[in-house]
Chains A and B, each alone.
Chain A
Amino acid sequence: MHELAITQTIIDTVAQQANGVPVRRVVLEIGQLAAILPDSIQFCFDVCARDTPLEGATLDIIEIPGRGRCRHCGHEMSLEMPYGICDLCDSLAIDIIAGQDLVIKTMETVLCV
């Protein structure tokens, strides 16, 4: 259940960036090969956001599909697991080139006028 610790880090990071201004929305990118469950992050978010500037904020999660590149022939393919087999040369030596990251993309804060 590392998602709880990770969600806490997300809340802390955004709260620091928002500098006390209420946050209404956070957009998060989770790679599908990142070993992080979007459902768990979504579940933990509301709980962790309590008593912070993020309380009541919406969390939008964009899942980034996994992609790999064959180390032998350079062919690129989509990956559902953190390993795979090259469609062209049957090699198992696949470097993961996308889908492993966890990035806070944007936050939406209440505009002070």
Chain B
Amino acid sequence: MCVTCGCSDEANPTFTHLAAHTAAATPTHSHVLPDGQVITHSHTQETRQQTHEQHHPSSHAALETAPPPHHPERKQSLQSTALEINVLAKNDLIAAQNRGWFEGRNVLALNLVSSPGAGKTTLLTRTISDLQDRLQFSVIEGDQATAHDAERIRATGCDVVQVNTGTGCHLEAAMIQRGIRSLNPTANSVLMIENVGNLVCPALFDLGERAKVAILSVTEGDDKPIKYPHMFRASSLMLLNKVDLLPYVNFDVDRCIAYARQVNPDIEVFLVSATSGEGLDHWYGWLLETVAAP
């Protein structure tokens, strides 16, 4: 039984009290309701009683018929307003605008996601160099700091915008919106968006891309698809990069692909090496086909 408010936590052994039950630190705790919902909350002196009555009446109805004696009377009149606001809606709206912009011009926008060091920029410069006679490219580079990657892209002759996110760990749709205003990609071209190297946060933020392309290198763990399921679930394609290094590393390709398909049965997988060029034809074929078939 919770000593702060008297709610029972005997039904589920995983209940955690996150903060010490002192007046100074706002006490926080979790319960599981009969329908499986988990509620984590804290109680201020004013709202403690009301919180419980409004918030999980079903868990308390059976346990207590009157408020525990240590709950003081409410001092202020409060008004509850239903909001029902999706927190990511603002980003999703801008992403939808971007998507419409791309569709209207048949621009294939791809969101390249990976851990730091998987070889996104090398793969990108190689792809642009090899295909620049057949496809027109523009690039939005996302990094926390520096324009190093953008300089590497510009060396290929490709138009590029660098977005430095500062403390941010991902690109957001509004950054892409600013990027495309400045780049103004031509019709039937490819816009490569190189996201910040991070397999967690970029999965949450739709940029308006046609597809997310996850890049995983064989110098990483072969279980990354299942360790970071949100990202591999959200990606249409996985490029397994640096396969020229397979003889020197302990990486099980079949196991990696099996994990990726467990998380996302529809994911396409190509084995490539941006350095040796091995397998890049499959990736190029996919790009050319996808641009041609909007």
Contacts and interface: CB of A to CB of B under 8 A. Distances in A.
Nearest to B56: A62
B72 to A, nearest CB: 15
A52 interface: no
A1 B42 CA distance: 22
B40 A38 contact: yes
B41 A110 contact: no
Interface in B40-90: 40-44, 46-47, 51, 55, 76-88, 90
Contacts of A61: 39-41
A2 B165 CA distance: 12
A78 B81 contact: no
A106 B78 contact: no
Contacts of A32: 38
A70 to B, nearest CB: 11
Chain B: interface size category: 35 or more
A56 B44 contact: yes
Given A58-B47, A60-B41, A92-B261, A35 B200 contact: yes
Contacts of A46: 26
A6 B88 CA distance: 8
Contacts of A27: 55
B223 to A, nearest CB: 14
B78 A13 contact: no
Contacts of A58: 26, 41-44, 47, 51
Contacts of A77: none
Interface of A is mostly: mixed
Contact of B76 (A14, A24, A92, A101): A24
Contact of B80 (A83, A103, A108): A108
B212 interface: no
A83 B262 contact: yes
A46 B26 CA distance: 10
Contacts of B265: 91-93
Contacts of A2: 169-170, 200-201, 204
Given A24-B47, A103-B85, A105-B84, A63 B39 contact: yes
Given A14-B83, A25-B78, A104-B85, A5 B28 contact: no
A17 B81 contact: yes
Interface residues of A, number: 48
Given A107-B81, A110-B78, A60 B44 contact: no
- Max chain A Cβ within 10 angstroms of own Cβ: one of B81, B82, B265: B81
A101 to B, nearest CB: 6
B264 interface: yes
A5 B168 CA distance: 8
B200 to A, nearest CB: 7
A1 B168 CA distance: 8
Contact of A109 (B55, B78, B85, B229): B78
Contacts of A78: 36
Interface in B177-213: 200-201, 203-204
B263 to A, nearest CB: 5
Contact of A111 (B38, B79, B86, B170): B79
Contact of A83 (B38, B44, B85, B263): B263
A54 interface: no
Contacts of A83: 229, 233, 262-264
Interface of A: 1-2, 5-6, 9-10, 13-14, 17, 24-25, 27, 32, 34-36, 38-39, 42, 46, 56, 58-65, 78, 81-83, 91-93, 101-111, 113
11 contacts: A24-B78, A25-B78, A32-B38, A36-B204, A42-B40, A46-B26, A60-B51, A63-B38, A102-B87, A104-B84, A104-B87
Given A24-B44, A61-B39, 7 more contacts: A24-B46, A35-B203, A56-B44, A61-B41, A105-B82, A106-B81, A107-B81
